[in-house]
Structure 1
């Protein structure tokens, strides 16, 4: 399943909405997605959103859509 992971690049500062970034990840479930991000980055994960159906189709049309591989 594809997940959209919202994150801050650092855990040192307090999160600011303006600094939130996202990446797309293929994982079995939300826990696996969280583990992959936490074990391969220093990102502060804010939210993990599962994408399927129309939401996934919409995101795939975005120019920023690219699956992240660790």
Structure 2
């Protein structure tokens, strides 16, 4: 399943909406995705499963790249 992860680059700073970035990660569950990204020093704000029409919409974006971790 593909998950869209909203995050901040620096784990020790207060999240600012304008600095939020996204990445797509292939994983079994939200917990699995968080474990895969744990080694990176980022502040994960939200993990959202992407499927169906939502996935099709996201795939149309130029920035759609799924990380295989």
State the match for 2:66 in structure 1. 67
Q: Which runs of 5+ in 1 are unaligned?
A: none
RMSD: 0.8
> How big is each residue's C-alpha offset from its partner over 1:6-62, in whole Å with a ceiling of 9 and x where there is no partner?
0000012111000000000000011000110112x1010000000000000000110
The correspondence of residues 1-70 of structure 1 with structure 2, limited to 5 A, is 1-39=1-39, 41-70=40-69
Q: TM-score, normalized by length of structure 1? A: 0.94
Deviation at 1:68, TM superposition (A): 1.3
Q: Which runs of 5+ in 2 are unaligned?
A: none
Q: TM-score, normalized by length of structure 2? A: 0.95
Structure 1 runs (4+) deviating above 6 angstroms are none
